[in-house]
Structure 1
Amino acid sequence: MPQAIAYGISVLAGTAGSITVGMLVAAYAITLVGTLALSSYQKRKAERAARAQFDAAQVDRLANVPATVAPRELVLGRVRKGGHVFFRTSVGQYKELFIMCMAVAAHEIDAIENVYFNDQPVDLNANGQVTTAPYGQSATLDGTDVLSGATSTLSHTPNTGSVKVTREFPGGIGVTEVTGFTVDGNVVTITEEFLAGRIYRAFYQYPGFNSFARIRFHYGAPGQQADPELVAMLPGVWTNDHRASGVAYIVCHFAYNDTAFPSGIPNVTVLMRGAKIADPRDGVTRWTENPALMMRHVMLHPQFGKRTSLTAAEDARIIAAANACDTPIDYGAGAVAMYRAASVIPFGSA
């Protein structure tokens, strides 16, 4: 009997030892699997956070952020975006003209194709004046020209029947109305005696428009000159040293008008062609929507990339990818490149 009990105890001890080892192995396996799962979860969480941050940046890019100190942005491809408002002021006797400078990229860009006020595209004339209603409105304007001789050309074509001509001595004394004249288009001819030593003036009305908004572009070339109008309008505030070198920005003028701006200053965005990118296929630096060339630009960018140069083999692979991206494809409205891209990347982003 005692022998049987001893044998049973030894069997149980051996079994317990095996169970202990098995439990240790199982515990280690569970710990390893848990660690790997946690690591995978943390990685997915970081990726989701990065995607969410990127997606938020794409939504927020249509907003204008007032900030004198703000992250700079790399803009690639064709993008519609707002920017950072780094300067604001009002001028005029009653502060009726509001001026705003908004940075849209931290580098030279290729072009600005369109301007939007509150998501509405607006048209600009050669002087940058907005001609789209309600920011530009048709109006009857007054004109005054000094006539150079018996036959003179007015600065504008007058409305029918609106021309009045006066004659005066120098100094504005002895002003009389001239009744003998004809108007053909914008040419005025005095039909009565044209008296030497007199000043003849034509007063008239002509069709035009009043613009309450004006936009000027600066494309961010290195060493670009300071905005000459701001230098003239803001002496001592905006000087020739305020060049914003290497920063693409727009200057917005808004004249006070209840009809044009019933809800205040509009949100301004631009449709722009971003950075000019070097193409290793021909050595030319130009604007492009080619994703492969964009990645090469990012790799070599001092704020993003880890490289200062690429090997011939690396460039060969990029060239092959760029050629594949440029493969033409026609969706029914003309051939376009098969792969195109655009992005806005804050400096310092991974």
Structure 2
Amino acid sequence: MRQQLPENDQRIQRKINFLQFFVPDHVYRSLLSESYLSDYTLHFAKSQAQTALPAFSCGRQRKEKCVIGRFWLLQNARRRGIIVSVCIITCKQNGGNPMLMDLHTHTHHSFDGMPQSVAERIARAEELGLRYMAVTDHVEINRFYPAAYYGAVETEVWNYDGQRAFEGSLAEVTTEKSGCKSLTLLCGAEIGQMTQCPDLAAKLYADPRLDLVIGSVHELPRRPDFYFLDYAGEDIPALIADYFSEVLRLAQMDTWDILAHLTYGLRYLPDRAAVDLTPYLPVIDEIFRTVIAKGKAIELNGSGLKNSPEYTDPALPLIRRYHDLGGRYLTLSTDAHDTKYLGFRMNELEDMARAAGFSALTVFRKHQPELIPLP
């Protein structure tokens, strides 16, 4: 019996029926016997078939990707004289279209990242059809050295030794770059609180291995990360004002390429949706003008799309405001700390960029912006 797909995916069922004419019967049966996974990906097992997939024969090529509606079909060519058919038919959460970029991701080198390697990120990115991915592991520059250097001890609030993360991440990314096939892997770092250590920030920014640096404000001076604040005891309007003032100070520096999650200071508020940003628009506009004048970028960060309620950092009205002020450079990111969130709902971020007025997105190579047209 054929597996019944969810009602809202009847178009997918029709596409699967269509594919029956192009793949061997045993492969088709495998598809229908697989459980319908939450990430909308159905995998075939390898089969040593004596018949390749004739409609998609790829000759000497190792792999060939063919778009069939919302699906990718990947076929391996001959291996050691035996035809091995490996089919992966995917109805992606991004609508099945190849994605341009995910320029803010974390690996096991980040203190809050899942224990997954750069190679695992690459494999997933190429499966998704990503063109550009940047690995940007955390470097909290105000705690760049081990805790003992500061006469402190590690706690759940403070994390130290950003130097180890910086060196480890850059070394691994540099090594893995050569193994990429369809993906352009960019070497980056997310440097937090660089206003507190400007000389060290300049030194890190000059590292020749780097393609890009994301500048972020996760905490205010002498305060813990916004994640750890007790908001019940905070003057919220003053806290938000202090946050945007600190972001402006960051924007005025030259040791970053992409300004991260502009509204991070609101992320963990009990009711962030109720916050009226009108009083803060003058400083936000000054941030935007500074970014524009320096020829740098802001990011549209989609990490909040997996939360309830959903949000992006920043929201569409601020992205549109940035564009209308003359903003040219915009990057998209999931801020994925886990491989399963790489490229998560990226099609929606691309749609938001278009809605804000952007016809192109931006990548950085060796700190130089390059415009990539939106499809």
Please say whether Structure 1 and Structure 2 have the same fold, judged by a TM-score greater than 0.5.
Answer: no
Q: Which has the higher helix share?
A: 2
Give the TM-score taking structure 1 as reference length: 0.20
Return the index of the structure with the highest Cα Rg. 1
Bigger relative contact order (CA 8 A; separation at least 6)? 1
